[in-house]
A and B are shown apart, each in its own frame.
Chain A
Amino acid sequence: MSAAPAVSDRSTPRWRAWLLLAPMVAWLTLFVVVPTAILIVYSFCERDEVGRVLFTFTLENYHRVLDPVYLWIFARSIGYAGLTTVICIAVGYPVAYCIGRAREEWRQRLLLLVMVPFWTSFLIRTYAWITILKQEGLLNGLLHQLSPTASPLDLLYTPTAVVIGLVYAYLPFMILPIYGSVEKLDGSLIEAAHDLGAGPLRVFSAVIIPLTLPGIAAGTLLVFVPAVGMFAITDLMGGARVPLIGNVIQNQFMQARDWPFGAALGAVFMALFAVTYWVMLKFGAGEEETPA
């Protein structure tokens, strides 16, 4: 962050800089710009009875997106993702803080522990949760050992299971950026705050949190955005009882064979991310200006 002004002092980037950027630009054009353009074009098209996309202009798909049924699903998806993000911050922040403040030789090992789950396929890890949470599963078996009279917990295929799955899947994406911020935290600033008479709570809220805010912001984006669109966890752990927007979109492209409507949902979904990102940027930038 602090390096940014130094670079921008220079004159405009020359052709060599563009050459270095070329692979990235080509990649982005091919895999982001072009597909997005296709998505937007499709969202204004019609489909025939077989599911072929017909290139006749219509606003019908967006009209359907505004149907309260789908708006409500959008709202619920945001609610689930928001709750997931909040829990990830609450659980991930202390973890990231402890790792970031740990002794040098321990940090790498602890970080490794955060990343170990990535060595196994995401789907296998989700199925593992099913084994834990199911009625005759590990958790209920353990509870039965502890108190044989208690009735088994009914966790799998409930909204609680969905949130557990989402938090589990995205927690590392919260821990890693916060860790990055905590690691860079200047210990002398904390000491200075103590010397100036701030209590632990004040130090945390007035010094540590603002200094690690970029990490929290990055983590929030990394968790919130994919969590809104997740469909595998709601299907596997939630029993597909409550549709989230990811499930609805997936269904349009697969079972319903209605690509234009799926595209319209996708376009609105992307607009939503753009707005979230913009809000985060504004929020993040505003916070960073205060201490400066």
Chain B
Amino acid sequence: MKPLRLLLPALLALLVSAVAARAAGELNLFGWSEYIPQPVLDGFTKETGIKVNFETFASNEELLSKLVAGGGSYDLVQPSDYAAEVMIRQHLLSPLDPALLPNLKNLAPEFRQRPHDPAGRYTVPYMSGTVGIVVNTDRVKTPVRGYGDVFTPALKDRIVVLNDTREMVTWALYTLNLPINTITAENLARARPVVASWVKLVKVYDSDSPKTALLNGDVDVGVVWSGEAAILWKENKKFQYVIPAEGAHQFIDVLAIPANAKNKAAAHQLIDYILRPEVSVLISEAFPYTNPNLAARKLLSAEQLANPASYPPGHPKLETFRDIGKDAAAIDRLVTDLKSAQ
């Protein structure tokens, strides 16, 4: 009898929540795998009764090809800046209604109205990060300030970098003091010898988990996502993060509503829920990126705020990627060629 008595309320609760879910509707969310913590979604469902169907992708390209092909029916998507730019240009996104998003006031202004969405009409920043240098200070005693200090013969075969052709060319363009979003044949020709000398020094290319090679001790320095560096720093303070003096790529992952979304009201509700400081802080705890939510930052611990990979000190030169369309093919060929030639 006892188990039954315990079970009954649970069953009832399940029934009630199922009914509530039907009443409030469902929301189809398409985001980076594991990027939105489950407690955030559970809290949202509990409060609003809206059931969240969370589908995930592993790259912006996957998201883009799915949306461009007209596949899937999503109410909320989570592209990075340059992918959002393409989607805005292709009329794939629906303008947001600021009246439904009172918590927008929590955001730091420098993360809104960036080149990918100049008026800030289509996107809301979710998390932001940079691509910078992480140094194992136990093994590397020379000061490392920029790309030039990483790619030196002294560190040959002790370097991990992102396995991303555009990233590498961007670092070379920064070193040459050339614009990173205007890809011309002439600039690429100038970047070529720089990248050529770099590929001879790199030991590992890894975009998925560059921290592994650093943790394993196979390499001592890396040019990696700041999130990876933040996790390394949490693990061991010997891993120091440096924003390259020449300039660094900043990415802003955003939330946006597709033009063909069926439940735009619920999508607005979830965006505003995520913008709440006490919810946003949960995301910071799971992913130590830069949180654009100033109200949420106030709830972070001193140690979290001191993490140089999450909140880099000073005023470094940071730029987001713009969509470069077909020029990507030229970059791809350049790096493939140089990697292959060694």
Docked complex Cα distance between A157 and B164 (Å): 17
Q: Which of B203, B218, B326 contacts A241 (CB 8 A)?
A: B203
A49 touches B326 (CB 8 A): yes
A157 touches B203 (CB 8 A): yes
Whether, in the assembled complex, A50 has its beta carbon less than 8 Å from a beta carbon of chain B, the answer is yes
User: Which residue in chain B gives the minimum CB-CB distance to A72?
Assistant: B340
A257 touches B65 (CB 8 A): yes
B329 touches A258 (CB 8 A): yes
Docked complex Cα distance between A70 and B332 (Å): 12
A239 touches B204 (CB 8 A): yes
Distance in Å from the Cβ of B192 to the closest Cβ of chain A?
13
Question: Which A residues are in CB contact (< 8 Å) with B59?
Answer: 254-255
What mask results when residues 311 to 337 of chain B are scored 1 for a CB within 8 Å of chain A, else 0?
Answer: 000000000000101101100110011
Distance in Å from the Cβ of B47 to the closest Cβ of chain A?
37
Question: Which B residues are in CB contact (< 8 Å) with A136?
Answer: 216-217
Distance in Å from the Cβ of B71 to the closest Cβ of chain A?
12
Q: Which of A242, A251, A257 contacts B342 (CB 8 A)?
A: A242
A51 touches B61 (CB 8 A): yes
Identify which of residues 146-169 in chain B touch chain A, using a CB-to-CB cut-off of 8 Å. Answer: 157, 160, 163-165
Is chain A's interface secondary structure helix, strand, loop, or mixed overall? loop
B217 touches A134 (CB 8 A): yes
Distance in Å from the Cβ of A256 to the closest Cβ of chain B?
5
A157 touches B337 (CB 8 A): no
Q: By the criterion of a CB under 8 Å from any partner CB, how many residues of chain A are at the interface?
A: 33
B340 touches A243 (CB 8 A): yes
Q: Which of A51, A72, A156 contacts B68 (CB 8 A)?
A: A51
Docked complex Cα distance between A255 and B60 (Å): 8
Q: Which of A47, A156, A235, A255 contacts B164 (CB 8 A)?
A: A255
Whether, in the assembled complex, A52 has its beta carbon less than 8 Å from a beta carbon of chain B, the answer is yes
A256 touches B328 (CB 8 A): yes
A257 touches B328 (CB 8 A): yes
Docked complex Cα distance between A13 and B208 (Å): 53
Docked complex Cα distance between A242 and B338 (Å): 10
User: Which residue in chain B gives the minimum CB-CB distance to A47?
Assistant: B326
Whether, in the assembled complex, A218 has its beta carbon less than 8 Å from a beta carbon of chain B, the answer is no
Distance in Å from the Cβ of A48 to the closest Cβ of chain B?
8
Known: A134-B218, A255-B61. 11 other contacts (CB 8 A): A50-B64, A69-B333, A69-B340, A73-B340, A156-B218, A235-B206, A251-B332, A255-B59, A256-B328, A256-B332, A258-B328
